[in-house]
Structure 1
Amino acid sequence: MQNFDDIRFYDDEEVNPALQQYVKHPMVKALLQFTFPDLEYDEIRTILADCYSIKDFQSKVIYYSVEKVLEKTSEGLSDRGFDKLDQDESYFYISNHRDILLDTSLLNYTLYNHDLVMTASAIGDNLVQKPFLAALAKLNRNFLVLRNQSPREMLKSSMRLSEYTRELLEDSRSIWMAQREGRTKDGNDVTQQGVLKMIGMAKGDLDLLDYLAKIKIVPVSISYEFDPTDMLKMPEVLAKRMQEEYKKSANEDFNSIMQGAMGQKGRIRLNAGDVITSEDLDYIREQNLSVNDQLQAVSKLIDKAIHKNYKLWPSNYIACDLLRNEERFTDKYTEKEKRQFDRRVSRRVDIKNPLALNSYLLMYANPVINKLGLNEG
């Protein structure tokens, strides 16, 4: 993998030196003390000293970090569909994307619980500008997607990224990638065609659809009962709806990472869809479509799986009823749950501002609307 030094994660022999370098960093120290609150720091350092691979670090440290986050900020994580996957196979997981770090952390936590191959995961280089964040990313088997490039540079880096993912898969490593660049802010989870185009660049002599079948894509639906970063997403959502340019503040991504980790989430569900096989793609192949139209058709196939398997919570049904001024889903929630959601809305949004109220409700209602679309389409 010597050609990928600027985007790759750590080799195992680099893990222990990196841990020793950053063990005293205040943010790393805070993470470790959060993870092991009952241990003295010298005892924690002993655990780190015994980590000589990414698997060591993930299983001895990060697994318990995620467990602690779930314990303190959620009402539990459940999953469906992962028991259908082969423990000896690698897969290309493509999921909706709501939280910068938790989405992939929860997926790997779930894969570990099912004795499945954990993933190498894509992360934008804009999110790891701080050296300690870059180190933590590489320690968690994150590889970098280079942002803010010229069109020519972007094409070149996309090709290298695609080749890197192919090498990882050939080395029996599973991969996670979000269905789109950046998180979904409005709750409408849609796969960007460009993501699949980048993945397919390394197909070599294979037909595009044959390659996409070969890598065993698994659509994953990640559903949080409450999004702890919903209010942080609102300025960008409103700017987009008003067709205004939106510029991130200096620490916006870091604040989203912290709020996503420590904010209350309610219940969480990860649902794995069926592996997309060559047979699933045959109907696309038979239509003699252009490459772009093939990519669009595969994107819709992934969307359908994500929308179908998305776990809807009372918050989603309540938001949909409020948005449409209906009582269609009253059998899906209680009066107490509705009062609690009403309070949440009033604390976060100026309810006298129709655009703000509508935008906030859409964050929670869009997954219901998308699932209804499957039945009505």
Structure 2
Amino acid sequence: MTKFDDIRPFYDHEVNDALLSIARHPMMKALMSFTFPDNDEKFWFEPFKNIHSISDFQHQYISQTVRQILKQSSEGLTTSGFDHLDKNVSYLFISNHRDIVLDTCLLNLVLLDRGLIMTSSAIGDNLVQKTFLHVLAKLNRNFLVQRGLPLREQLSSSKIMSEYIYDLLAKENRSVWIAQREGRTKDGNDATQQGVLKMLAMAGSESLTDFFKTLKIIPLSISYEYDPTDVLKMPHLMAKSRNEEYIKNPDEDFKTMLSGVLGQKKRIHIHAGDVLETEFDDIVSKIDNKNKQLQAISQIIDDSIIQNYKLWPTNFIAYDLLHETNQYSENYSENEKMLFERRMEMRIDISDAAMKKSFLAMYANPVINKIKHQKNLSM
């Protein structure tokens, strides 16, 4: 047993047994029926016996699942910024996080189609408590972030995860995806937690900035025109607005995963920012305090994610409705506004002013953040 065994995905020699162990599971049957709607069970089950690597499984099955998701519940995926990536280099994608399953699946489909190195991706172990989901996650090259540990164990767990991420990047030449914060952004305010950067830095022996250079960090911006889980985020946001503790329902995460996959997203865009390198030289020349260096790195990542975040008509509509203005009316049509308002009315109680405000802010905050970012650049 190695120190990474509790968190790592399957090794390739473990894949076939793991896949066959869940092949007859009702959820696998449902997943494959969705992926291959015009074929019977024999079509996908028989080839399972010849799957002996994560790459085989992703290429032959999961990539087709993601394409089917895009076909059934979106109006297409667009990308930018990927042309400057090297097909032989592994990168650390630090990403804003909106959807539990799709964020990484969509990125990996883009990487696959462009011949780039696909990622091993972080996922909270609280999201894969069911055996089927746990096995499926490991078959998709997910590694586990251990949640809810006592402080001492949390520190040890963070160090192991840091070493594992560095091992993937430096020794296995495997790209890595990690969210900029713990959990998804629910209010539309994408911000990098310094704790994530502190965890990453644990594996470094050289100076903070020199170590971060070796990681080849790419800030990643992903935006959905419609958030398919927006209404599911509302109870958490409302509890937060009342300063109340929010306690999840037992099956809430699973319901959110399904809604993210099957719910309408309209258009989706992913932007890969520039690899962060010279920015670290600027930081070390001006700042010698480690915590302030981490703060500066967080800000650089945030700036890139916000600057390159694709704003949709829904974002501008929500901003204007929230502020009772027509400031951004040139960015949407009356029909798009009507559809957004109708959707909102179907999903929340618009007579509840606080709920309506939180729902609109979820979509409007990316506009507000971009305005702030542009003002900071001009100062």
Q: Distance in 2 between matches of 1:36 and 1:374?
A: 44
1:196 is matched by which residue type in structure 2? L
How far residue 46 of structure 1 moved from its aligned partner, in angstroms, is: 2.1
Q: Distance in 2 between matches of 1:222 and 1:296?
A: 22
SS of the equivalent of 1:231 reads: helix
> Which residue does the alignment assign to 1:191?
192
* Divergent runs of 4+, >6 A: none
* Equivalent residues in 2 for 1:142-291, closer than 5 Å: 142-170=142-170, 171-204=172-205, 206-277=206-277, 279-291=278-290
Q: Distance in 1 between matches of 2:51 and 2:80?
A: 31
2:117 is matched by which residue type in structure 1? V
Q: Distance in 2 between matches of 1:309 and 1:288?
A: 26
SS of the equivalent of 1:351 reads: coil
> Which residue does the alignment assign to 2:127?
127
Asked whether the equivalents of residues 229 and 256 of structure 1 are also in contact (C-alpha less than 8 Å), the reply is yes
> Which residue does the alignment assign to 1:309?
308
Q: Distance in 2 between matches of 1:49 and 1:188?
A: 45
Percent identical residues: 53
How far residue 50 of structure 1 moved from its aligned partner, in angstroms, is: 1.9
When normalised by structure 1's length, the TM-score is 0.98
SS of the equivalent of 2:270 reads: strand
When normalised by structure 2's length, the TM-score is 0.98
1:310 is matched by which residue type in structure 2? Y
How far residue 45 of structure 1 moved from its aligned partner, in angstroms, is: 1.2
1:46 is matched by which residue type in structure 2? E
SS of the equivalent of 1:286 reads: helix
Q: Distance in 1 between matches of 2:85 and 2:218?
A: 9
| Unpaired runs of at least 5, structure 2 | none
How far residue 374 of structure 1 moved from its aligned partner, in angstroms, is: 1.2
Asked whether the equivalents of residues 47 and 60 of structure 1 are also in contact (C-alpha less than 8 Å), the reply is no
Encode CA deviations 1:78-118: one digit per residue, 9 max, x unaligned. 11111110000000001100000110000101111111000
> Which residue does the alignment assign to 1:59?
59
Q: Distance in 1 between matches of 2:192 and 2:364?
A: 18
How far residue 41 of structure 1 moved from its aligned partner, in angstroms, is: 0.9
Q: Distance in 2 between matches of 1:59 and 1:290?
A: 45
> Which residue does the alignment assign to 2:82?
82
> Which residue does the alignment assign to 1:103?
103
Count of residue pairs the alignment pairs up? 375
> Which residue does the alignment assign to 2:327?
328
1:91 is matched by which residue type in structure 2? Y
SS of the equivalent of 1:2 reads: coil
Q: Distance in 1 between matches of 2:62 and 2:136?
A: 10
SS of the equivalent of 1:167 reads: helix
How far residue 2 of structure 1 moved from its aligned partner, in angstroms, is: 2.1
Is residue 342 of structure 1 aligned with residue 345 of structure 2?
A: no
SS of the equivalent of 1:76 reads: strand
> Which residue does the alignment assign to 1:140?
140
SS of the equivalent of 1:374 reads: helix
* Equivalent residues in 2 for 1:20-35, closer than 5 Å: 20-35=20-35
How far residue 282 of structure 1 moved from its aligned partner, in angstroms, is: 1.7
2:157 is matched by which residue type in structure 1? S
| Unpaired runs of at least 5, structure 1 | none
> Which residue does the alignment assign to 1:298?
297
How far residue 352 of structure 1 moved from its aligned partner, in angstroms, is: 2.1
* Equivalent residues in 2 for 1:343-362, closer than 5 Å: 343-362=342-361
Q: Distance in 2 between matches of 1:19 and 1:250?
A: 26
Q: Distance in 1 between matches of 2:246 and 2:40?
A: 45
Q: Distance in 2 between matches of 1:331 and 1:214?
A: 44
How far residue 174 of structure 1 moved from its aligned partner, in angstroms, is: 0.3
How far residue 304 of structure 1 moved from its aligned partner, in angstroms, is: 0.4
